[in-house]
Homo-oligomer: A and B are copies of this chain.
Amino acid sequence: MSVTDDLLANNARYAETFTGPLPLPPAKHVAVVACMDARINVYGVLGLAEGEAHVIRNAGGVVTEDEIRSLAISQRLLGTQEIILIHHTDCGMLTFTDQDFRDSIHAETGIRPAWSAEAFPDLDTDVRQSIARIKSSPFIPRTDSVRGFVFDVATGKLHEVK
């Protein structure tokens, strides 16, 4: 049995008490952009129920072209209005540099990625960078409520970055 098989057994139990379908557009008109970190259960952290918010996640919770794509679809086609960004303490992205990561891939595979790993040395600075990327995009129509937070993996609390 792989871990994937174990998780499929969990899904069968989840479906036993599942009631659906809910509507497609998020009921709370919110999109969340969070780090992929395993310790951030976004539904738990924000007290969200199924159907309430779009959840976009990647390594670091950074904003690249693909997050602009997702946010553009979220706002333009599905009516979300507020954006919440979540980085977190003890993030893996603080532990290496773009240069080292790309060098190691180059050394191992002979191919250098054309993309940046988006590693960053300071959490608050990178949250502000992600907000700035959203606000500067011509494709995101509603940017009056874009707020960024750091999730503390020790306490479970969100700290707002001003």
A46 touches which of B11, B25, B64, B109 (Cβ 8 Å):
B11
Residues from chain B with Cβ under 8 Å of A122 in the complex? none
Contact B66 A53 (CB under 8 A): no
Q: CB-defined interface of A92-118 with B at 8 Å, one 1/0 digit per residue? A: 110110000100110001010101111
Residues from chain B with Cβ under 8 Å of A38 in the complex? 22, 25-27, 50-55
Smallest CB separation, A5 vs chain B (Å): 9
Contact B45 A11 (CB under 8 A): yes
Contact A82 B39 (CB under 8 A): no
Chain A interface: which size bin?
Answer: 35 or more
Residues from chain B with Cβ under 8 Å of A55 in the complex? 36, 38, 42, 57
17 A-B residue pairs with Cβ-Cβ distance under 8 Å, sorted by A, are A10-B46, A10-B48, A11-B156, A11-B157, A21-B90, A22-B39, A24-B37, A36-B55, A36-B56, A38-B51, A56-B59, A58-B58, A65-B115, A72-B105, A78-B92, A105-B139, A111-B138
Knowing that A4-B145, A18-B156, A36-B70 touch, tell me 16 more A-B residue pairs with CB under 8 angstroms.
Answer: A3-B29, A15-B157, A22-B39, A22-B153, A25-B38, A36-B55, A38-B55, A39-B51, A57-B57, A59-B74, A64-B65, A66-B67, A69-B115, A69-B116, A76-B101, A78-B92
